Amino acid sequence: MDIATHVFSALYQFGDAFAFLVLSACGLAVIFGMMGVINLAHGEFIMCGAYVTAATVHAGLPLPLGILAGTVVSALVGVLVELAVIRHLYDRPLDTIVATWGLSLIATQGTLIMVGSTMAGVGTPFGSFQVGDYSYSIYRIVLFCSALGVLAALYALFNWTRFGVLVRATIQVPHMAAALGVDTRLIYSLTFACGAGLAGLAGGLYAPTMTLVPTMGATFIMEAFVTVVIGGADVFLGTAPAGGVLAVVKSVMTSWQGQLFGQIGLLVAVIIVVRVLPKGISGFVLRERT
């Protein structure tokens, strides 16, 4: 086997781990990283996106539109949750843990009761390609590109648009933003919806590759929190490098010693990063800049 095959295989595994970490984490990076709401129902927004995607695809929609539907529905559910629950708890961050945990239990059990214990999958599109001795799934490359696309879109949204400026102003100094005429309640709602929608997008993108069950969100939760915690408060400057670092650790450890060591490596990396950089990677980068 030549070196090019090995290099490609390592890159593919890195890209695969990176995509999973970044897509799992983006929604949480907005809701937890930026807004400071510890959203334990993050996995259930992902599940919602995946279920809506699968349901619409079963109903005859093409997959990309299904994923879009999953994203939109999750965002709408996000608006409802924000209006009904989260809005009243912004100054009580610890209470949001209990509230969102309750929501996640209700969502999981509600789905089990209403939709049943499983849902039929939709099948992974595009097929595979061969490099050297290994064959690879093309859809995994699509996931990697989607992760890069989402990061780029978030960067553009929060740095180049008026909405992005308003969001950052509202979250930094809410009363000052309000005094200058910003409808901070609306901004909070929209930001939360944006995070929920991103979670739905992750669910939609992974729906073709996974078992669709009410508890599927739980498989994203660990990676999502780990990435956001070491990423820090800034969505782009935190999530992207955190995803990169963790993907290297995870893919190297997994190829060396298997899945168990991949997970151990991930958690050890988090402990080290949190110890050395308490404000996460973005905190470190931003401090250097100022």
Partner 1 sequence: MSTSVLRGLRAAALTGTLVLASNLALAAENPIKLGVLEDQSGDFAAATIGKVHAIQLAADEINKAGGIMGRPLELAPYDTQSDNTRYQEFMRRVLQRDKVDVVFAGFSSASREAYRPIVDQFNGFAFYNNQYEGGVCDGHMIVTGAVPEQQFSTLIPYMMEKYGKNVYTLAADYNFGQISAEWVRKIVKENGGKMAGEEFIPLGVSQFSQSIQNIQKAKPDFVVTLLVGTAQASYYEQAASANVNLPMASSVNVGQGYEHKRFKPPSLKDMYVTTNYIEEIDSPKSKEFYAKFKAKFPSEPYVNQEAENSYLAVYLYKQMVERAKSTKRDEIRKVIAMGDVCMDAPEGKVCIDPKSQHMSHTIYLAKVGADHSISFPKIWEDIKPYWLGEAGCDLTKKDPMAQYTPSNPPPKP
Residues that bind partner 1 (CB under 8 A): 9, 12-13, 16-17, 20, 108-109, 112, 116-124, 126-128, 130, 133-140, 208-216, 218-219, 251, 254-255, 258-260, 262-263
* Minimum CB distance to partner 1, residue 238 (Å): 22
Structure tokens at 68: 């879009």
Structure tokens at 240: 């992207």
Q: State the sign of the Cα–Cα–Cα–Cα dihedral 168, 97, 207, 53.
A: negative
* Minimum CB distance to partner 1, residue 240 (Å): 20
Nearest to 50 by CA among 207, 209, 270, 254: 207
Measured from the CB atom, the residue of 118 and 161 that comes closer to partner 1 is 118
Measured from the CB atom, the residue of 143 and 177 that comes closer to partner 1 is 143
* Minimum CB distance to partner 1, residue 126 (Å): 8
* Minimum CB distance to partner 1, residue 161 (Å): 33
Measured from the CB atom, the residue of 28 and 237 that comes closer to partner 1 is 28
What is the DSSP-derived secondary structure letter of residue 119? B
Strand partners, 226: none
Measured from the CB atom, the residue of 69 and 221 that comes closer to partner 1 is 221
Measured from the CB atom, the residue of 109 and 161 that comes closer to partner 1 is 109
* Minimum CB distance to partner 1, residue 41 (Å): 17
Query: 42-58 and 218-231 helices cross at what angle (nearest 10)?
Result: 130
Structure tokens at 159: 């740095």
N-term to C-term CA, the chain: 48
